[in-house]
Chain A
Amino acid sequence: MNTFFKADEPLQRVDGKMKVTGAAKYAAEYVLPDCRYAVLVTSSIAKGRIKSLDTKAASNAPGVIAVISYLNAIRPPGYAADNEHPTEPATGGQPHRVFYDNKVYFNGQPIAMVVADTFERATYAAHLVKAQYIVEEHLTDLNKNLDKGVLPASAKKNPKSPLADYDRGVVDGYKTAPVKLEMEYEHPAEMHNPMELQAIVAHWETDDKLTLYDKVQGTQPTQQNFAKEWKLPPENVKVIAPFVGGAFGNALHNWPHETAAIIAAKMIKKPVKLMLTREQMFFMVGYRPGTFQRIGIGANRDGKLVGISHFSIGQTSSYEEFTESVLQQTRMMYTAPNVSTRYRILPMDVSTPIWMRGPGEATGAFALESALDEIAYELNIDPLELRIINHTDQDPERNMPWSTKYLKECFKLGAEAIGWNKRPLKAGTLSDGPWKIGYGMAVGTFGANRRSAKVRAKLFANGSLLLQSAVTDIGPGTGTAMVGIATDAIGIPADQITFQLGNSEFPVAGNQGGSSTVNSVGSAVLAVCDVLKQKLLEMANQNMPEFKSATLEQVTFSNGGLQLKGGSAKTTIGDLMKKSGSADLDLIEEAKPGPEAAKYSKYSYSVHFVEVRVHSITGRIQVTKAVTCADAGKIINMKTAGNQMIGGVTGGIGMALTEDAVMDHRFGRYMTKDLADYHVPVHADVPHIEVRFVDKPDYIVDPMGTKGIGEIAIIGVAPAIANAIFNATGKRIRQLPITPDKLI
Chain B
Amino acid sequence: MEKENATPNPRRDFLKKSSLITAVALTPTAAIKAADNQLDERIAQAIENVPCSIEINGTKHTMKIDPRITLLDLLRERLHLTGTKKGCDYGQCGACTVHVDGQRVNSCLTLAVMNDGKKVTTIEGLANGSELHPMQAAFIKHDGFQCGYCTPGQIMSAVACIREGHADNEGEIREFMSGNICRCGAYPNIVAAIQEVKKGGKNI
Contact = CB atoms under 8 A, between A and B. Distances in A.
A639 B146 CA distance: 11
A680 B136 contact: no
A51 to B, nearest CB: 13
Interface residues of A, number: 84
Contacts of B28: 56
Given A17-B140, A59-B31, A66-B18, A686 B185 contact: yes
Interface string A653-679: 000000000000000000000111000
Contact of A278 (B9, B26, B89, B136): B89
A124 B147 contact: no
A25 B82 contact: yes
B175 interface: yes
B19 to A, nearest CB: 8
B109 interface: no
B78 to A, nearest CB: 9
Contact of B184 (A26, A59, A475): A475
Nearest to A649: B185
A118 B22 CA distance: 25
Interface in B114-129: 122-124, 126-127
A56 B31 contact: yes
Contact of A124 (B31, B68, B178): B68
B191 interface: yes
A20 B139 contact: yes
Contacts of A676: 90, 92
Contact of A194 (B10, B149, B177, B180): B149
A22 B82 contact: yes
B183 A248 contact: yes
B39 to A, nearest CB: 10
Given A13-B143, A475-B147, A675-B93, A120 B181 contact: no
B95 A195 contact: yes
A195 B182 contact: yes
Interface stretch (A93-101, A238-246, A294-302, A520-528): A238-246
B18 A31 contact: no
A558 interface: no
Nearest to A37: B77
B146 A72 contact: no
Given A24-B148, A29-B82, A268-B14, A62 B40 contact: yes
A71 B93 contact: no
A196 B22 contact: no
B84 to A, nearest CB: 7
Given A20-B151, A682-B181, 13 more contacts: A17-B132, A22-B123, A56-B28, A61-B40, A72-B21, A120-B69, A123-B68, A197-B88, A278-B93, A475-B146, A644-B146, A650-B187, A651-B183
Interface of B: 1, 4, 9-11, 14-15, 18, 21-22, 24, 26-28, 31, 34-35, 40-41, 43-44, 48, 66, 68-69, 73, 76-77, 80-90, 92-93, 95, 122-124, 126-127, 132, 136-137, 139-143, 145-152, 155, 170, 173-175, 177-192, 195
27 contacts: A2-B142, A2-B192, A12-B140, A13-B140, A17-B140, A19-B145, A21-B124, A22-B152, A28-B86, A55-B26, A56-B28, A60-B40, A65-B11, A72-B18, A117-B4, A119-B77, A120-B68, A121-B44, A196-B87, A248-B183, A647-B186, A649-B185, A675-B93, A676-B90, A683-B173, A683-B178, A683-B180
